[in-house]
């Protein structure tokens, strides 16, 4: 019995001393309204921040191996509007205002989520140095979806705007860039 206990200790004791994910990527644990590295694998690294209007609607910057100089800006939109075509929004283009600038956002897909639906929205690939300048331009990052004659997005999204903090954005993006180069 003593041998089995000793073997178990030898095998499993080192597991207790492994660093946490936060220690591996050199960041602190999750902090509300602060940009942090939130996902990482062999192909990509993502940083994100929670939404100030709808908390779960993160704003995400994704850096991909061999293209670390450009960030894919994405966001989630949770909605409880029960439009019959909500699941058919794949690849739909939506007029929007991002940081006061007119842009065209692309809904990548929607899926059922909790008591409503979640849309994943692509805001395009942008050089990270440009991202830093644009996202740090104002005290909070803002986005509003605009109804047009072609697409009345307010029929689908019950909340058509969100904002996000830019706290720790530059540091998190610089750290993600360094990790991305090593992927």
pLDDT in tens, 94-110: 999 999 999 999 999 99
What does the pLDDT average to over 26-55? 88
Query: Residue ranges of the domains in the chain?
Result: 27-181
Question: Cα separations (Å) of 12 from 5, 16, 88, 153, 154?
Answer: 11, 7, 49, 53, 54
Nearest to 57 by CA among 35, 36, 78: 78
- pLDDT, position 1: 57
- pLDDT, position 31: 87
pLDDT in tens, 168-181: 999 999 999 999 99
- pLDDT, position 39: 86
Query: What proportion of the chain, given as a percentage, has pLDDT over 90?
Result: 79
The answer for residues whose C-beta is within 8 angstroms of residue 166's C-beta and 6 or more apart is 35, 49, 135, 136, 138, 139, 140, 141
- pLDDT, position 141: 97
Cα(177)–Cα(44) distance, integer angstroms: 10
Rounded to two decimals, the pTM is: 0.83
What does the pLDDT average to over 110-121? 96
DSSP assignment, residue 66? T
What's the mean per-residue pLDDT of the chain?
Answer: 89
pLDDT in tens, 150-174: 999 999 999 999 999 999 999 999 9
What does the pLDDT average to over 28-35? 83
HSE toward the beta carbon, residue 115, CA cutoff 13 A: 2
């Amino acid at each position: 019995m003593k041998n089995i206990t000793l073997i178990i200790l030898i095998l499993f004791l080192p597991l207790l001393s492994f660093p946490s994910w936060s220690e591996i990527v050199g960041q602190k644990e999750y902090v509300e309204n602060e940009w942090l590295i939130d996902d990482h694998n062999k192909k990509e690294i993502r940083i994100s921040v929670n939404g100030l209007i709808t908390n779960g609607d993160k704003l995400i910057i994704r850096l991909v191996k061999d293209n670390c100089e450009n960030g894919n800006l994405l966001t989630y939109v949770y909605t409880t509007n029960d439009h019959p075509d909500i699941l058919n929004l794949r690849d739909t283009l939506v007029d929007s205002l991002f940081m006061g600038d007119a842009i065209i956002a692309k809904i990548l897909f929607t899926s059922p989520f909790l008591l409503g639906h979640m849309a994943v929205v692509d805001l395009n690939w942008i050089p990270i140095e440009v991202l830093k300048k644009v996202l740090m331009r104002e005290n909070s990052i803002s986005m509003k979806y605009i109804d047009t004659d072609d697409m009345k997005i307010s029929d689908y999204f019950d909340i058509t705007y969100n904002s996000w903090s830019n706290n720790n954005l530059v540091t998190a993006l610089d750290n993600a860039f360094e990790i991305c180069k090593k992927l």
